[in-house]
A and B are shown apart, each in its own frame.
Chain A
Amino acid sequence: MSGQKRQSLLGKLISLLTYKPVSRSEFVLPELENENSRRAAPEDKSNLSYESEDSGNSGKEKDTATKKPVRASKWNRVKGEKGHGDKGSRPQEISPDVDVNLEIIKDEFNIPTNIDVIIREFKLAGMVDAFIVFIDGMADRGVVNDFILRQLMNPGQFENYKGGCVLEYVTGNVLSVNQAKKLKKYEEAITQILMGVTVLFADRCDSCLAIETRGYEKRGIEKPATEAVVRGSQEAFTENLKTSVTQIRRIIRNKDLVHEFFLIGKQDNSMASILYIKGIANPDVVKEVKRRLASIETDFIAGDGMLEQFIEDHPWMLVPQVLTTERPDRTAANILDGKVAILTEGTPFAIIVPANFFAFIQTPEDAYLRWQYGTVLRFLRISAFFIALLLPGIYIALTNYHPEMLPTDLAIAISKSREAVPFPSIVEVLLMETSFELIREAGIRVPGLIGTTLGIIGALILGQAAVAANIVSPILIIIVAVTGLGNFAIPNYSLAFGVRILRFFFIILGGIAGFFGISAGLVMLVARAVSIKSFGVPFMAPAWPRAGRSPDILTRYPVWYQEQRPDPISPVNKKRQPGISRGWVKGKPPEGKRE
C-alpha cells in the first residue's frame, strides 16, 4: 500500500518532470483531389461521402499516389459525361410503380438521414398503395391530416371509382383542397415538395399530385422599418413572397395585373416574381426583365439585394440603378406608372425597374400630402443631396485656396479657431469624416438599449473633447455634422451610400485644386451620370434628355394636374386622367346652395 503510494508520489514527481508528447486530435480540412483545376464541375464530390468514418465507407483516398495531370479539355469532357450520369440514372418521368417512386424519392431527399422530409405510406381507399411526401414544418399538418389523409383513407369516398389512374378520380371527387395539380416529372415534384406542397404518389399512376398545403411560420405584416411616413399606409412587405404579392393585389385590383414567377438559383431555388400591368407597361421592358432574370445562373440568391446586383446595367457605378422599396403602396404606384416590380422570397423589399435619379429623391409621403408640402420637401432633399456631397469639399477649397471669398469676419473666425490645431485642414477633415463613418457603422451594431444614448453621448462628448483638446476646430464639427445630416435626409439608402463615398472624391479634389477642382469633379460626375441607362431608360431622364413635361419630377404639381404617365419609360397607355379630372369645377353647386 505504501509502496504503491510512494510509487505514485514518485511517479507523479517523475511525470511532472518528464516530457510527454501531447496527443492531439485536431480537425483538418484536406484539399479535394484535383481542386486546383478551376474548371472542375462543382458537383463532383464522388470521392467524398457525407457519412462519418465508422459507417464503413472507404474515404481517405487522398494519400494515394499523385495522379498525373489531365489535359483540361479532356477533363471537362469526362466530367460532363459523368456529371449528367448521376441524373441520367434516374428517369425523368414518374413511373407507375409506387415502390420505384418511393425508392427514388428516398434517394433524392437523403431519407432517412434527412429527418425533415416525411413519407407517409398508406392505402388509398384501402386498396391502392400510395404515399405522400412533405416537409415537416413547411406543410400545414392540419391540412395534411384533415383534408388529405382523412379523405383519402376513407373508403366511402371511393365508391364510384372504376379503375384507371386513381389520381384523376381523387382530384375530381375526393380531395376538397383548393389547389391540386398533376405533375409528370420528378424534378417538378421535388421542387414543389421543397416549397411546402404535399405530393401524392399512387400505384399504377404515371403522374403525381401536388396538393397545396403550405403553412409555415412567418413574420406578420409590420410597419416599414426604413421608409416611415406620417400620413400614409403603415404596411410593409414581409419575407414571404405570397404575402407580398397579395398586398399588392389588394391595392391594385386590376385584372391586367400580371404576376409571373421565376425560380433562380441552382442550389436554393430562390423564388422571384415580377409584376406589371399588361397594357400599360412597355412590353420591351418586360421582355428585357424576363430575359435578364431567366439568364441568371448562380448558386444562391439571398434576396433582393443580390438580385439587383445581377440584373443592373452598370455594376461598377456608385449609384444604384433600380429603386428598392419596402412599401406596397409605393410599389403599386410605380406599377401603375408602367414600371415592372420584382419581388423575391426572403427579403421584404421590392425592386422597381426602370428607375431614374429623381425617383431616389421622392418619398411616398409626397403623394399623400398636398402638393406644396411635397414640393418644398423635395427641394430640401435635393439641397441635402448637394450638401452631403459637396460641403466638406467646399469647406476645404474655401479655406485653403480662396480665403478671399469668405466674408472677413468668417475668415478670421476660422483662422482663429484653427490656431491651436496641429493638423492641416485636409487631414483634419479626413480624420473627422472617417470617425463619423466609424460612429455610423458602430451605431448599427450597438445593442438596442444603449444604442441611442451612446450615439448622442458619443457624438457630443467626442466632439466636445476633440475640440477642447485642440485636435479639431469647432467649425469642422459643425461641417461634419451637417454633412451627416444631409446624408440621412436622402430617402434612398443606396444613393446615400453612393454619396458618402463620392464626398471623399470631392474632398480630395477640393484639397488639391480648390473650386476649380470641384468644378472639374462635378463635370466628370455629371458626364458619367447622364450616360448611364437603367433598363434602356437614361438615368437622368426626364430632365436630361428632355422627355415630356413630367408633372412630378422635382416640383410636384397638384394631383389633378398629373395627366400623363412618365414619358421616359414609354408606357403603352400614356393618359392617366383627362384634362379636367375634378368634374365638380366645371359645373355649379345645386340651386339654393350657391354663394
Chain B
Amino acid sequence: MLREGKIGVFEAISVITFMSATKVLYSSSRALVEASGTSGWLTTIVSGVTALAGFYFIILLMSRFPGQELVSVFETVFGRFAGIIFSLLMSVFFLLNSAMFAREFIEAVKVYAYPLSPPSFLLVIFILAIITVLYFGFECVARTAALFAWPMLAGLAVIVILAVPLYEMSNLYPVLGHGPACIIKTGLLRSSVYGDALALAVVINSLQGSEHFKKSGVTAIILSTAIIATGFLIYNLSFPYYIASESTIPLYALTRSIEYGRFFQRFEAIFLFVWSISGILASAINLYFALSTYSKVFRIDDHRALILPQTVIIFSVSLIPLDISSIAYEHVNHIRQYGSAIYFGIPLLALLVAVIRGIRGEQAGA
C-alpha cells in the first residue's frame, strides 16, 4: 500500500485550502463576477454553504466505513468493477483540474509578466517544481503546503490592506447584483469550487482519526469560502460592476492599481510570488491526489513510478486548448459547472447505494 505517513489538522487544512482558494487568483473569478455583478461575494458564500452540505454527505459516507478510504469505499459499495470506474473518474478529474490550473496559470503569467516565453518553457519549470514536491511523498506535500500557508495568507492580507484607498462602498450598490434568484442559482452551480474537500477522503487514513477528518474538512471549506469571498469583496469594492467583468485576472488588475505616492507604487511583486507559489502547489496537490487514487485502485506500492508519466500527461493535456478564450469560456466553465456532479454527486450516490444495500463497514477494531 502507499506509504502516506501521518499529517495533522493544520496540514490537512492547508492542503485543501490551497486547492480551493487558489481559484480566486485565476480567470474563473472573472466569470463569476460577470455572472453575479456586484454580489460575487454573496454568490460564493452560497456556494460554500452548498459545499458544506455536500461535504456532510461525504462525512456520513466515510463514517459508515471507518478505517477505509474512498477508493476502497467505492469498491465495497459498488462492487469491484463499478468502483474502479468511479475511482478512475475521480482520478481523471483531479488530473484535469491540475492540468487546467497549470494552463490557466501559464496563460495568465504570460499575459501579465512573460509575454514572449513559449508556454512549454514555463510549463517545464512549473512541472520540475511539481515533480520535486511529489517525489518525496504525501507528507512532504502536506508539509510544504503548511509551510507556505501563512506567507500566502499574509500576502493576501497585505494586498487587502494596501488596496484600502481604492475601496468605495458605492461600488457595491446595487447590493443584490442581478437578483437573489440569480445569486442562488449561480451559487449552486458553482459549488464545485469547494468540492476539493472530497480529496481528504482519499487520504483519510493519514489523518489521525475521523474527528480530524470532519474538523479539517469543514474548516478548510469555511476558510476557502472566507478567502474567496474576501477576494471578491475587495474586487467589487474597487471596480464597479460594469468594469469588473472585464479583467482577465481580476485580483491582478486590482494589485496593479495600488498607488501610494511616488515610491510605494508597484506591489504586484508580492502578488506574483503569492500567485506562482499557490499555482504550483495547487497543481501539485491535485496531481498528487490523482496519483494517489490511481495507485490505490491498482494497488501500486510506490507512487513515484507514476510521477513522470503523469507529468507528461499533464504537460500535454494542458497544452491542448489552443488559446485563452477557449480555456476561460469553455473548459473552465464546464469544469466548474459539472464538477459538482463528480465531487458531490458520486459520493452521494455511493451513500444512497450503501444505505439501500445496507452495507456497512467493519467497526474499528473488529
A residues bordering B, Cβ < 8 Å? 398, 401-402, 404-409, 513-524, 526-528, 530-531, 538, 540, 543-546
Q: Label chain A's interface by main secondary structure.
A: helix
Contact between A526 and B122, CB atoms less than 8 A apart: no
Contact between B263 and A407, CB atoms less than 8 A apart: yes
Contact between A546 and B11, CB atoms less than 8 A apart: yes
B residues bordering A, Cβ < 8 Å? 7-8, 10-11, 109, 113-114, 117, 121-122, 125-126, 128-129, 132-133, 135-137, 139-144, 146-148, 262-266, 268-269, 272-273, 276-277, 280-281
Q: In chain B, what residue has the closest Cβ to A532? A: B136
Known: A407-B263, A523-B277, A531-B136. A516 touches B146 (CB 8 A): no
- Chain A residues within an 8 Å CB radius of B263: 407, 409
- Chain A residues within an 8 Å CB radius of B273: 515, 518-519
Contact between B147 and A405, CB atoms less than 8 A apart: no
- Chain B residues within an 8 Å CB radius of A406: 266
- Chain B residues within an 8 Å CB radius of A404: 266
A524 CB, nearest partner CB in chain B, Å? 4
Q: In the complex the two chains form, what is the Cα distance from A239 to B128 in whole Å?
A: 46
Q: In chain B, what residue has the closest Cβ to A509? A: B125
Known: A407-B263, A515-B269, A516-B114. A544 touches B133 (CB 8 A): no
Known: A402-B113, A406-B266. A519 touches B277 (CB 8 A): yes
B270 CB, nearest partner CB in chain A, Å? 9
Q: In chain A, what residue has the closest Cβ to B270? A: A405
CB < 8 Å neighbour of B276 from A398, A402, A516: A516
CB < 8 Å neighbour of B146 from A409, A515, A517, A544: A544
Contact between A530 and B143, CB atoms less than 8 A apart: yes
Contact between A405 and B269, CB atoms less than 8 A apart: yes
Among the interface residues A401, A402, A520, which one has the most CB atoms of the partner chain B within 10 A? A520
Q: In chain A, what residue has the closest Cβ to B284? A: A523
Q: In the complex the two chains form, what is the Cα distance from A469 to B280 in whole Å?
A: 43
Beyond the given A398-B269, A409-B263, A526-B147, could you list 11 further A-B residue pairs with CB under 8 A, ordered by the A residue number?
A: A407-B262, A514-B114, A516-B114, A519-B272, A522-B277, A526-B148, A527-B132, A528-B132, A530-B147, A531-B140, A546-B146
Contact between A545 and B128, CB atoms less than 8 A apart: no
CB < 8 Å neighbour of B272 from A515, A521, A544, A546: A515
- Chain B residues within an 8 Å CB radius of A398: 269
CB < 8 Å neighbour of A546 from B10, B121, B144: B10
CB < 8 Å neighbour of A545 from B126, B143, B266: B143
Query: Lowest 9 CB-CB distances: which A-B pairs, in order?
Result: A519-B276, A531-B136, A530-B143, A520-B129, A531-B140, A524-B132, A527-B133, A405-B269, A544-B143
- Chain B residues within an 8 Å CB radius of A407: 262-266
B2 CB, nearest partner CB in chain A, Å? 16
- Chain A residues within an 8 Å CB radius of B268: 405
Among the interface residues A519, A527, A531, A544, which one has the most CB atoms of the partner chain B within 10 A? A527
A546 CB, nearest partner CB in chain B, Å? 5
Q: In the complex the two chains form, what is the Cα distance from A405 to B273 in whole Å?
A: 12
Known: A514-B114, A531-B136, A545-B8. A540 touches B276 (CB 8 A): no
CB < 8 Å neighbour of B11 from A402, A516, A540, A545: A545
Contact between A523 and B122, CB atoms less than 8 A apart: no
- Chain B residues within an 8 Å CB radius of A521: 129
- Chain B residues within an 8 Å CB radius of A530: 136, 139-140, 143-144, 147
Contact between B277 and A527, CB atoms less than 8 A apart: no
Contact between A526 and B269, CB atoms less than 8 A apart: no
Q: Can you show 18 pairs from A to B with CB atoms below 8 A apart?
A: A402-B272, A404-B266, A513-B121, A513-B125, A517-B125, A519-B273, A520-B125, A520-B126, A521-B129, A523-B277, A524-B132, A524-B133, A526-B144, A530-B143, A540-B147, A545-B7, A545-B146, A546-B8
CB < 8 Å neighbour of B133 from A409, A519, A523, A540: A523
Q: In the complex the two chains form, what is the Cα distance from A475 to B175 in whole Å?
A: 51
CB < 8 Å neighbour of B144 from A409, A519, A523, A543: A523
- Chain A residues within an 8 Å CB radius of B140: 527, 530-531
Q: In the complex the two chains form, what is the Cα distance from A409 to B262 in whole Å?
A: 9
- Chain A residues within an 8 Å CB radius of B142: 545
- Chain B residues within an 8 Å CB radius of A514: 113-114
Q: In the complex the two chains form, what is the Cα distance from A519 to B262 in whole Å?
A: 27
- Chain B residues within an 8 Å CB radius of A528: 132, 136
Contact between B272 and A516, CB atoms less than 8 A apart: yes
- Chain B residues within an 8 Å CB radius of A520: 125-126, 128-129, 276, 280
Among the interface residues A401, A405, A519, A540, which one has the most CB atoms of the partner chain B within 10 A? A519
Q: In the complex the two chains form, what is the Cα distance from A520 to B141 in whole Å?
A: 14
A577 CB, nearest partner CB in chain B, Å? 27
Contact between A544 and B147, CB atoms less than 8 A apart: yes
Contact between B262 and A523, CB atoms less than 8 A apart: no
